[in-house]
Amino acid sequence: MKTRDDDLEALSALMDGETQELELRRLLGSIDTDPALRERWRRQQMISDIMSKRPLTHPDMDVSGRVSDALSAKSSVSRNPIWSVAVAASVTLAVVMGGQQLLLPTGTPSAPFAVSEVGGAVVPIGGAQPVQASLDAQPLQISSQRSVLDNRRSAEAAATYERLATDRYRKLSVRHSAESASAHPSPFIPQARVAEFIDEASSEE
């Protein structure tokens, strides 16, 4: 049976590169549970430096704790599956919210709707305010006929955009569920059920 003296002897042998892989693996496990072994290793290195006449410029300095904390924090962030789910959820939210933002002008007809005329084509710029080119110029007026046309096009674009956003959200949700289930410690936990969305386009048909 392995005793603490065995660990200490293995630690001494590790100083000299005289441990086998299996012994090193056991030793590293022991150090995890016995901080005194770690301190022993530090003192042994200091003694070795002294015996080798290396300068002890900062014998009281120990950055190992700070280094270890920094690396542990980095490691836990990069390996935590919750982060990948959170990032994916953020992307989904951005897609949905972005789509809704683009649709806002059609819901607020009283607000002035900025247009840009390029080669006779009218391009609505959602959410933007008209900008006057000069002090004397009047704001660009939109005819009522053109406004109706714009509103219809805007509504079609909105419907298309919403369909795309919903499709994308569904795909991401299914992927999240699958990855969450596979990353979970218990393989028997069923996949999280994806929230149901009413597909307005299909329900109307």
Contact residues toward another protein (CB under 8 A) are 8-9, 12-19, 21, 24, 28, 31-32, 38-64, 66-68, 70-72, 75
Q: Check residue 130 and report its DSSP letter.
A: P
Q: How far is the CB of 83 from another protein (least distance, A)?
A: 17
Nearest to 165 by CA among 108, 85, 94, 104: 94
Q: How far is the CB of 88 from another protein (least distance, A)?
A: 24
Nearer to another protein, 31 or 157 (CB): 31
Q: How far is the CB of 84 from another protein (least distance, A)?
A: 18
The residue behind tokens 């084509």 is 121
Nearer to another protein, 9 or 199 (CB): 9
Q: What are phi and psi of 140, to 5 degrees?
A: -65, 120
Q: How far is the CB of 18 from another protein (least distance, A)?
A: 5
Contacts of residue 129, Cβ cutoff 8 Å, sequence gap at least 6: 112, 114
Distance CA 177, CA 170 (A): 11
Nearest to 124 by CA among 110, 105, 141, 111: 105
Q: Maximum Cα–Cα distance for the chain, whole Å?
A: 95
Nearer to another protein, 8 or 115 (CB): 8
Nearer to another protein, 8 or 114 (CB): 8
Displacement of CA 123 from its chain's centroid (Å):
35
Q: How far is the CB of 59 from another protein (least distance, A)?
A: 5
Give yes or no for a contact between 40 and 8, defined as CB atoms under 8 angstroms apart: yes
Q: How far is the CB of 11 from another protein (least distance, A)?
A: 8
The total of other beta-carbon atoms located within 10 Å of residue 113's CB is 22
Nearest to 28 by CA among 42, 14, 17: 14
Nearer to another protein, 21 or 205 (CB): 21
Nearer to another protein, 64 or 116 (CB): 64
